[in-house]
Amino acid sequence: MEVTTVGELLHWRYASLAMAHAAVTANAQEYGRVHYMIRSRLYTGPRKQTMHVGALADDERLKMVLPQACCYCGSRERLAADHLISRKRGGKNAGDNLVWACRACNSSKGAYDALEWLKGRDQFPPLLLLRRYLKFAIEMCEERLLTDTPLAEAPELPFVLSAIPRAIPPCDLQLWVMDLSYSP
């Protein structure tokens, strides 16, 4: 898939994520026809405005049922709120941009973008964390009217386009940093 604009890139990544999510939920080790159909629908739907990218509120509900733990390593010790999209880069200071991070991850991450930092550690982001990040990226890109901006002309943004994983392998993916069936 050749993407040329900021909007195409973000929507294609979002659709690829939805495909991966469906495969993981079904315990599929490789992508099949049904998964490619999901990707295609999730890409063309929002682009043609016949569908919307899921609301951040859905992820907020999930936050309430997840055990309180660092979203990067799963630790339950010395937690503090961390901005998923860095405040220094222009991320908003609102509840849906807040995630839990342990002190060790928080100080190692510093002012780095979350995805960039995970990439540097060779750690693939949990799918639900990536989904929240992408929803923010799509929202910010719409607010700034950058959807149709060619990638080469994209200005500095609060999120890092190059840190959004290009390919999502169907196996060994995690929905969250810990098993979601985990209970304290």
Binding site for Zn ion (CB under 5 A): 70, 72-73, 75, 102, 105
Which CB sits closer to Zn ion, 103 or 166? 103
To Zn ion, the closest distance from the beta carbon of 126 in angstroms equals 12
At CA 35, angle to CA 147 and CA 74, rounded to 5?
Answer: 80
To Zn ion, the closest distance from the beta carbon of 129 in angstroms equals 12
Which CB sits closer to Zn ion, 7 or 125? 125
Q: How far apart are CA 140 and CA 142, in angstroms?
A: 5
Is residue 56 within 8 Å of residue 47, measured between CB atoms?
A: no
To Zn ion, the closest distance from the beta carbon of 71 in angstroms equals 8
Residue 45 DSSP SS3? helix
To Zn ion, the closest distance from the beta carbon of 56 in angstroms equals 23
Q: Which of 116, 97, 164, 131 is nearest to 24 (CA)?
A: 131
To Zn ion, the closest distance from the beta carbon of 128 in angstroms equals 16
Which CB sits closer to Zn ion, 21 or 109? 109
Which CB sits closer to Zn ion, 112 or 139? 112
Is residue 113 within 8 Å of residue 160, measured between CB atoms?
A: yes
Q: Alpha carbon of 48 to those of 44, 138, 169: distances in Å?
A: 6, 15, 27
Which CB sits closer to Zn ion, 75 or 149? 75
Beta carbons within 8 Å of 51's beta carbon, 6+ residues apart:
41, 42, 45
Q: How far apart are CA 159 and CA 85, in angstroms?
A: 6
- The token pair that represents 150 in the structure block: 């060619």
To Zn ion, the closest distance from the beta carbon of 75 in angstroms equals 5
Which CB sits closer to Zn ion, 12 or 72? 72
